[in-house]
Amino acid sequence: MDDALLEAHAQLRRATYRRHPGYVDSEAATESIRAYLRPIHEEGRVAVHEEAGRVTAVLAWRHQEDAWVGEPVSQVAMDLESAPEHFRAATLDAELPRMEADLDLMLDAHHRATLEALLARGLGVDSIQLLGEPTRARAKLEARPLPPGITVTPLEARDVEATLALHRETFAREPVYCWFGANPGFLASFEERLRSDREGHFVVRRDGAFAGHVSAAVKESPFWGRAAGMDLVLAPALRGRGLLRGLYASLLDSMIEAEARVFKGGTCQPPVLRLAREMDRALFAIHLRRGARLPRAAFEGFL
């Protein structure tokens, strides 16, 4: 592995992160970037573009057998400051055919020319990663109270099995909203996380019966400081009943109480995208893969 090239790649990614509001520029963040990129450089293939002796674009990728999605993928990191179109085209034409059918490719929102090049080569937008600020989002959200009989309470150990079953059934039926959500490997790691730490996870109940899982777990992030993730999966009987605003308000209140600076998460669901625009959430990154089922128009307003 070329240590100097790894460092140049890390600095390219760091420079792009710095363009996002809320990013905490620190050595801890840069080291986290290095830690993510290092195994890709050690085990994979790396294409580089230089200008005046300085690295200005890198495409690095590796085969990852034991990926977080629960099945083998090609883990791809593409970061650019500047590069001519012929570098983008030649590199993608050479490397994309070598990759697995499933990709772990999260392209930063600032790399629009590269997005167009990837879409032109058959990849599609699977989901988008959005950033928001909890206090601002809560102030802008026109929330509605939850209807009688609907409650949100902390997730308990007795709720873990029902939560896993709901995720498994939901994404086996509707993989377009999370293609890996029903994978046994992913669910096993999800279960391990729930059993070890349920902080920030909640259960939606209808007349006392389990009917959904929502979460806004707040953790310390080297990139964002105190940051919340977000998840929301409802039983079919609760969908289309106007609950989303009330549930979001509840989650945002829990983030604010936990002093989260930002909340971040991926989605392709139309109701969530509509609320995201209302809450001034900003596009952070685009997740691309082969076989993405949604048209680009589904992400109108962000792409």
238 part of a folded domain: yes
- Which pLDDT does position 239 carry in this prediction? 87
**pLDDT band per the 50, 70, 90 thresholds, residue 179:** very high
Question: Strand 262-267 and strand 225-228: pairing?
Answer: parallel
Q: Do 92 and 233 sit in the same domain of this protein? A: no
Q: Do 72 and 160 sit in the same domain of this protein? A: no
**pLDDT band per the 50, 70, 90 thresholds, residue 241:** confident
Q: Do 67 and 109 sit in the same domain of this protein? A: yes
Average pLDDT over residues 17-35: 96
**d(C-alpha 163, C-alpha 191), whole Å:** 9
Q: Do 110 and 206 sit in the same domain of this protein? A: no
- Which pLDDT does position 1 carry in this prediction? 78
For residue 1 the two structure tokens come to 């592995």
Token pair 């549930």 is found at 247
60 part of a folded domain: yes
- Which pLDDT does position 144 carry in this prediction? 85
Q: Do 60 and 152 sit in the same domain of this protein? A: no
127 part of a folded domain: no
Average pLDDT over residues 160-187: 95
CATH number for the domain including 177? 3.40.630.30
59 part of a folded domain: yes
For residue 259 the two structure tokens come to 């002093």
210 part of a folded domain: yes
199 part of a folded domain: yes
**d(C-alpha 104, C-alpha 266), whole Å:** 13
Q: Do 110 and 181 sit in the same domain of this protein? A: no
pLDDT at 47 over 90: yes
Are 104 and 76 in contact by the 8 Å Cβ rule? The answer is yes
Q: Do 105 and 237 sit in the same domain of this protein? A: no
pLDDT digits (tens, 9 = 90+) for 190-232: 999 999 999 999 999 999 999 999 999 999 999 999 999 999 9
pLDDT at 242 over 90: no
**d(C-alpha 223, C-alpha 29), whole Å:** 5
Mean residue pLDDT of the chain comes to 95
Q: Do 107 and 148 sit in the same domain of this protein? A: no
- Which pLDDT does position 88 carry in this prediction? 93
Q: Do 99 and 32 sit in the same domain of this protein? A: yes
Q: Do 18 and 105 sit in the same domain of this protein? A: yes
Amino acid occupying residue 30: T
128 part of a folded domain: no
Q: Do 37 and 167 sit in the same domain of this protein? A: no
pLDDT digits (tens, 9 = 90+) for 123-158: 999 999 999 999 999 999 998 899 999 999 999 999
- Which pLDDT does position 41 carry in this prediction? 98
Average pLDDT over residues 266-282: 95
Residue among 53, 55, 102, 49 nearest 74 (CA): 102
pLDDT at 302 over 90: yes
**d(C-alpha 267, C-alpha 233), whole Å:** 12
**d(C-alpha 193, C-alpha 205), whole Å:** 22
Q: Do 7 and 43 sit in the same domain of this protein? A: yes
In the chain, the number of structural domains is: 2
Domain extent for 138: 134-283
Give strand pairing partners of 215.
Answer: 201, 231
302 part of a folded domain: no
**d(C-alpha 44, C-alpha 91), whole Å:** 14
